[in-house]
Structure formats: C-alpha cells, structure tokens
Chains A and B, each alone.
Chain A
Amino acid sequence: DAKTTQPTSMDCAEGRAANLPCNHSTISGNEYVYWYRQIHSQGPQYIIHGLKNNETNEMASLIITEDRKSSTLILPHATLRDTAVYYCIVRAPLFGNEKLTFGTGTRLTIIP
C-alpha cells in the first residue's frame, strides 16, 4: 500500500470549514484514498473514500488532485464533536482482505 503523510495536528474554529491534507505521492492507479476518524477512546469510524473524482457524503467532502498525489478531507462546518484523530489511508480494493495500515493520523481540534 502507498505511504501517506499527514500533519500531526491542526486546529480549526467551530463553524468554519476544516481542511485536512494528505500526501500520497506514490499512489498507484488502482489505489483508493480512504478516510477514517477516531474520536477519543472510541473505535475508528469510516468517513469517505474516492479514486480520482471528488466525493461528498453527509459527513464530508473529499478532494483528490488531478495527479492523485494528494487529497484533502473537508468538514464543511466543523463542530466540537469533530475533534478527533483523522486517518488517511491509501490502498487497492483487494476483495475481502482489508488489511488496512493506519498511521498516526492528524489530531484535529475544533476551537469554540
């Protein structure tokens, strides 16, 4: 799986958009970008994933650059409940064997 690089920590004001970057310059053509988050002491939670087109769901938007070497997770109107560690993961969708490798992620703190 391709390696990812994320900032260790970020702050964002409540109500503003939180933009979390991820660098994955060695991504392969069949690898997807996945985002999970982990709120303090809970299990990680899936947020969104994409291949090359921008994606949006009820939780967030995912913007992937045209060369696919980096992406940004956007939480459009951050709330205090979005304070968490966010993990960016890149891997090919092998059927079934989901041996995801989680790095240390970005610790996002939403400031009141």
Chain B
Amino acid sequence: DAGITQSPRHKVTETGTPVTLRCHQTENHRYMYWYRQDPGHGLRLIHYSYGVKDTDKGEVSDGYSVSRSKTEDFLLTLESATSSQTSVYFCAITSGGGAANVLTFGAGSRLTVL
C-alpha cells in the first residue's frame, strides 16, 4: 500500500529465537498499529503508538514488545518466538482526527515459527 511498507514480508524461524518486524511509513502519520490475523479470530490489536516513544498495549500484547524511536518506524519484537505466534501481522497507520480518521494497512508479514 502506498506510504506504508512492512518487512520482512515472509519469515520462517525457530521457537525461542527473537524476531523483529518493521513497519515504515512515509505519510508522517502520528498513529501506528500492529495487528495479528489468525483463522477464526479476525484481526486483533497487539500494540499501538500515538507518537514517538509513546506506545500502549492492545488486546493480545503478551509476548510482544514494540518501539518507536522515529515517526516513520514502528517495530514489533517477539523476544522469544513461540509456535502460537505463527500468524500474519499487519501494520496500520492513521492521521488522527475525527470520523474520517480511517486506517491504512500494510501488505502484511507472514511469520512461521517452527
């Protein structure tokens, strides 16, 4: 999607290894989000950020940490990956401000933990 990129797009790793997913935006939007998507669960919010160094937990934050040292980058880290974290991860951005404030999503990062 225009203005938002995720990397890597695909990753296979082993249980217990650390993994970092990167979300990069060129829109200078204040708000950034990490979601995971699993069959039968829809999209679930992991963490979000409302500014540089300002982050908060979503509904499924256990086992994940995030960092935002620059407006354009929001990193999602799995300190010690587990098989239950096999999922597709989506980053989203929004500018903030009222009803017209809608999410723009990245293309997703597919993570497989063996």
- Using a CB–CB distance below 8 Å, which chain A residues touch chain B? 32, 34, 36, 41-46, 49, 51, 87, 93, 95-105
- Interface size of B by CB at 8 A reads 32
Contact with A along B16-48 (1 / 0, CB 8 A): 000000000000001101010000111111001
**Is A102 touching B107 in the complex (CB atoms < 8 A)?**
no
| A104, B101: Cα distance in complex, Å | 22
* A contact patch SS: loop
Is B50 positioned at the interface, with any CB of A under 8 Å from its CB? yes
Please indicate which of the listed interface residues A45, A100, A103 has the most CB atoms of chain B within 10 Å of its own CB. Answer: A100
B48 to A: closest C-beta gap in Å: 7
**Pick from B1, B96, B102: contact of A96, CB under 8 Å:** B96
| Beyond known contacts A46-B103, A99-B58, A102-B35: 9 more, CB 8 A cutoff | A41-B88, A43-B107, A44-B43, A49-B99, A49-B102, A96-B31, A102-B44, A104-B41, A104-B42
Nearest-CB residue, chain A, relative to B58: A99
